[in-house]
Amino acid sequence: ARSLGMDVEWLPNGGLKTILGPRNLTKVFEGRKGRRMWFNTIVGMHGKEISSATLADGTEIPENVVKRCGEIIEEESIQFKWQKGDVLFLDNYALLHGRRPSLPPRRVLVATTK
């Protein structure tokens, strides 16, 4: 965690809290033609006991802001029907993915690389 720039805090229950930030909501990634990309877990973490959806002073981001971010994600989403044998390659720095429920049987095979 420290090599990734995080602070760590051991919790009384034996859990570990990782603290990363504050950091910008957007980031320019190498090889992306200088495009700014939203790189934050604001929607998925809002309202959780230990939330990363906070402002620099530690207060939670207002719910209406998080709601609008979720609406933008929905507006920009695409879905497609998987067929047997389909393979999907994606750039994890450029896409938000895996946010839809699925029905069993579901088998996900993942490989990551630089």
Q: What pTM was estimated for this model as a whole? A: 0.54
Neighbours of 42 (CB within 10 A): 18
d(CA 37, CA 18): 23
Angle at 71 between CA 67 and CA 73, to 5 degrees: 115
pLDDT bin (cut points 50, 70, 90) of residue 48 is low
d(CA 67, CA 23): 20
Q: Tell me, what's the pLDDT at 12?
A: 93
19 sits in which H/E element = strand 16-19
Q: Could you tell me the maximum CA-CA distance found in the chain, to the nearest angstrom?
A: 49
Give the mean pLDDT of the chain: 76
**Residue 37 clears pLDDT 90, i.e. is over it:** no
